[in-house]
Amino acid sequence: MSHIPFQLREVQRRISSAAEKAKRDPSTITLIAVSKTFSTEDVQRAIDAGQSCFGESRFQEAALKIADLRSSIDWHFIGRVQRNKVRKILPLFPTIHAIDSLKLSEYVNSIAKECGFAPKLFLQVDQANEETKGGFQPDELYRVFGDLAALSHISIAGLMTIPPAAEHSEDSRCWFADLRRLRDDLSQKFSIPLPHLSMGMSGDYEVAIEEGATHVRVGSSIFGKRAYHVEGELGSIA
């Protein structure tokens, strides 16, 4: 018997209770099951248990699974986006979470235009100014947001963060609250809706929901401990 269906239900239950605690409607929160490093069979187990939204961070690995699965899955690309992979990522992933520069956004927009895609993008924010992590600096985001919003073949879903590694989930709360304030302020200053916040992982998704997360990216709490590191993605916490 696989532990995946049970753990998935447990995560769903905890999402609902965190939402209720924050007086939010649980159906407004999307659980992205992060399946990087896990097998196609494991993804299938989660699909059989009712999960339809998955996140992957390495294109090659993801493409193999996507080809194997053939189900109608809502795939989210959550890893760092290399420019030379954009053409391949767009047909497979309707949503991309770690857009970290205006240049990359413009490039994604040009490929989307050329190939007829309309990707939803999350702008990753490097809140703690960490060298190992990609992302916009908050002040940079204010400078370029008008240009980002003017790109016509992408839609900006909202902001995304991977806060500094923390021992306790409460340590992440300030970063999550900070991202929400940044979102509210940008949205107001530029009069552009920014409905989504992609924040919270296995260690802290309940706190993220209390602070307004609409997309939580949860891997190990569903699939188990990862057997190997994913280099360079999460910096020091990978």
Ligand X SMILES: *Cc1c(COP(=O)(O)O)cnc(C)c1O
Q: Which of 4, 179, 201, 208 binds ligand X (CB under 6 A)?
A: 201
What residues from 30 to 49 belong to the interface with ligand X (CB under 6 A)? 34, 36
For ligand X, the closer CB: 150 or 227 = 227
For ligand X, the closer CB: 66 or 218 = 218
- 10 Å Cβ neighbour count for 97? 27
Residue 93: phi, psi to the nearest 5? -125, 105
Q: Map residues 154-193 to x or -, x wherever contact with ligand X holds by CB under 6 A.
A: --------x-------------------------------
Does 233 participate in binding ligand X (rule CB under 6 A)?
yes
* Burial per residue of 135-145, b for 16 or more beta-carbon CB atoms within 10 angstroms, e otherwise: bbebeebeeeb
Number of residues that bind ligand X (CB under 6 A): 15
Q: Which of 165, 169, 202, 224 binds ligand X (CB under 6 A)?
A: 202
Does 217 participate in binding ligand X (rule CB under 6 A)?
yes
Does 69 participate in binding ligand X (rule CB under 6 A)?
no
For ligand X, the closer CB: 45 or 217 = 217
| Residue 197 C-beta: closest distance to ligand X, Å | 13
For ligand X, the closer CB: 54 or 145 = 54
Does 207 participate in binding ligand X (rule CB under 6 A)?
no
Q: Which of 88, 220, 224, 235 binds ligand X (CB under 6 A)?
A: 220
Nearest residue by C-beta to ligand X?
219
Footprint of ligand X (CB under 6 A):
34, 36, 57, 78, 162, 201-203, 217-221, 233-234
